Amino acid sequence: MPDFDSTFLIVCTIVVLALSFDFINGFHDTANAIAASVSTRAMTPRMAIILASVMNFVGAMIFTGVAKTIGGKVADPAALTHGVWIVIATLLSAIAWNLITWWYGIPSSSSHALIGSLAGAVIAAEGFGGVNGSGFISIVQALIFSPIIAFAVGYVVMTLLKLIFARANPHIVNKGFRSVQILTAAFQAFTHGTNDAQKAMGIITMALVAASYQDSLEVPFWVKFSAALAMALGTSFGGWKIIKTMGTKIFKMEPVNGFASDVSAASIIMTATATGLPVSTTHVITSAILGVGSAKRFSSVNWGVAGRIVSAWLITIPISAVIAAVLFKVIAFIFL
């Protein structure tokens, strides 16, 4: 175990990396939350980003259940021999994968990247026995089933809206939903903050426990505030490559479609947050959009783009795990 001074410096490095991850998450994943409202012209890009930044901050300040899940369910931080170094490898890996996918405009999952990286770093450091199998599986199950449920909910909601407004004037319907979509986009950004910002909180708290600075996974106020602020600032930088993919390349979206996808995705994310489960907001939002597009007209969905997105989902956990494992071995070679 490093001495006090070096441990303090390592933990400070972890805080900087975790907040950087949160900042990147803000402009990477929040683009998904506001893509529908921007593409349907319910809001201007500037208005959407300001609204999303504020709602992300508010959402991040309210809940901590997901942070405790991230901090303790994949591995017990108090039992890890090289806990702080594991966290550093985890964050470097997750940040690298987020930047790669952001650069290519692929809406991959920050959650998958973080969970995969954490598992890979723990295995590299402690072996497979270091991973809490039941906890890890429960998180992966939530990550797998939430987009499937979101697709189904999006399909059902859009089908119901089609039936309800079948005889209404399409122009009037879309005009009404364009206004309401401001509220649903705000709700979606709020739920994004409640779930995604907690992942950085959880990883910082995990490091604090591993470094013996605290003995529980209770999230300190300064951790909560700094993670919320980092995500809000990241959101303010936008994420136009991903907005373009989500808002225009999957299918031509109208306000009623944007409303349906926003409500469907936000409901799933909020339910997961209430139960303390980390889900991929990217997966949930994209799947809701795919479900809504399928209900509108199956052939209207660009399944080629959808397939490319799903492929990124499938490879994120294993690739990020490998990157983190390699990074930990490099760190161990240099410092341990």
How many whole angstroms separate alpha carbon 299 and alpha carbon 250?
11
Is residue 335 in a domain? no
Q: List the chain pLDDT tens, one digit each, 336 residues.
A: 445 568 899 999 999 999 999 998 887 666 667 777 777 778 877 788 888 889 989 999 998 999 999 999 999 999 999 999 999 999 999 999 988 887 876 667 888 999 999 999 999 999 999 999 999 999 999 988 998 999 999 999 999 999 999 889 988 988 899 989 899 989 998 998 999 889 999 999 999 999 999 999 999 999 999 999 999 888 877 655 555 555 455 556 788 998 999 999 999 999 999 999 999 887 898 889 889 989 987 777 777 767 776 777 788 999 999 999 999 999 999 998
Is residue 336 in a domain? no
CA 72-229-67 angle, to 5 degrees, is 10
Domain extent at residue 54: 4-330
pTM: 0.89
Q: Name the domain count of the chain.
A: 1
8 A C-beta contact, residue 178 and residue 45? no
How many whole angstroms separate alpha carbon 280 and alpha carbon 111?
5
